[in-house]
Amino acid sequence: MRCGIIGYPLGHSVSPAMHVAAFTAFGIDGSYELWETPADALAARVEALRDPAVGGANVTIPHKQAVLPLLDVLDPLAGAIGAVNTIVNRDGRLTGYNTDAPGFLRSLAEEGGFEPRGARVLVLGAGGAARGIVHALATAGAECITIANRTLAKGDSLAVAVETATGVPVDACCEPGDLGDYACIVNTTSLGMLGAQQAQLPCALDSAATGTLVADIVYNPSQTAWMAEAERRGLPVVGGLGMLVHQGALAFELWTGQAPPPGVMFAAAAEALGQGKP
Ligand code: NAP
C-alpha cells in the first residue's frame, strides 16, 4: 500500500518515520512518501490518489482547506471543521477526514487524564490548528471556551463559527487576562517553535489555578519554554507530540483498518525529531 503526505514545503515532516514504523509493526508491505506539492499542482496530486495501489494521504500546510472541493465524500467532522488532514482512497473514491481534532482530544485524555466535558477552556491562537481544536473541545462538551488571539478578528470569526455549529458559548479576546477560571489552557500559536519564536511564551501563567492543565501543541522542541514554565509552577503539562502521534495513528487506522500500537509511532516520531523517547 502506498501512502504519503501532501504539503508545501515538507522538509520538516516526521510522518514518514511514524507510518513506516507502524507498517513494519504489522508486517504490512507499505510505503509512505513525501509528496511536496505547490498549490498549482494540488488537483493533479489529489487525482493521482485514485490509483488502486494508493491507500490514501495526509494533508498538511497549506492545503488542508484547498483539498475539500477535490474530494468525493467528506466526513461530517471534517466538513464541520472545514479542514481535511487525511484522505482515504476506497476503490477510486476519495473521502476526506480530520484526525487532528480527535487526535488532540485523545492526547489530552491519555497524556493529561483530562476530559473537556463541563470544563472552562482557554485556547491561545486562532490559526489553522485552532479551528479543529476549538471545535473538538466544544463537541466534547466543554462548558465554555475563550479564544485569545493577537488578531481579534480571527478569534471572533472562529468563536462565532464554533458557537453557531455547536451551541457551546465561545468568546474571543486579544489578551486572556486572569487565568484562575480555566481547567485547561491550550497553546495553538506558533510561539515556542524551534527557531526565532522558541524563547517566546504564549501567555504568562502567574494567575493559573492549581491543577490547571497546560497543553502545548507545538511539538518541536518536545518541551517548549512555556511547558518548562508550567512545570516550574507545578502545573500538569501535555506536549504536542501526543497530538501528532494520535492524528497519525487514526489516519493509519483509516487506511489499513488496524490500530497501531501508539508506543511504536511515539518512539519513531521522537527519534525523527532527534529527541529520543518521550
Ligand atoms: P497558523 O495557522 O499560522 O496560526 C498561527 C497562530 O499563531 C495564529 O493564531 C497567530 O496569530 C499566532 N501567532 C503567530 N505569531 C505570533 C506572535 N508573534 N504573537 C502572538 N501570536 C502569534 O499555524 P497553525 O497551523 O495553526 O500551527 C500553529 C502551531 O501548531 C505550529 O507550531 C504547528 O507546528 C503546531 N501544530 C501542531 C500539531 C500537532 O499535531 N501537534 C498540529 C498542527 C499544528 P494571528 O492570527 O494574530 O496571526
Residue pLDDT, tens place only, 46-90: 999 999 999 999 999 899 999 999 999 999 999 999 999 999 999
C-alpha 127 to ligand 1 mean position (Å): 6
**Please, what is the average pLDDT of the chain?**
95
- Spatial separation of the C-alpha atoms in residues 253 and 257, rounded to whole Å: 5
Question: Whose grid coordinates read 516550574?
Answer: 232
Pocket-testing residue among 85, 104, 123, 188, ligand 1, by greatest number of atoms within 8 A of Cβ: 188
Is pLDDT of 276 > 60? Answer: no
So what's the pLDDT on residue 275? 66
Would you state the cell numbers that stand for residue 83, as one nine-digit string? Answer: 479542514
Distance 237 CA to ligand 1 centre (A): 19
Ligand 1 and 154: CB distance under 6 A: yes
Confidence class for position 277, pLDDT limits 50, 70, 90: very low
Q: How far is CA 218 from the centre of its chain?
A: 9
Report residue 155 as a C-alpha cell: 478569534
pLDDT of 252 reads 98
pTM beyond 0.85: the answer is yes
Residue 119 clears pLDDT 90, i.e. is over it: yes
- Residue 111 contacts residue 132 (beta carbons within 8 Å): no
Ligand 1 atom index nearest CA of 61: 25
Active site members:
64
Angstrom distance (rounded) from CA 132 to CA 128? 8
Nearest-atom number in ligand 1 for the CA of 103 is: 40
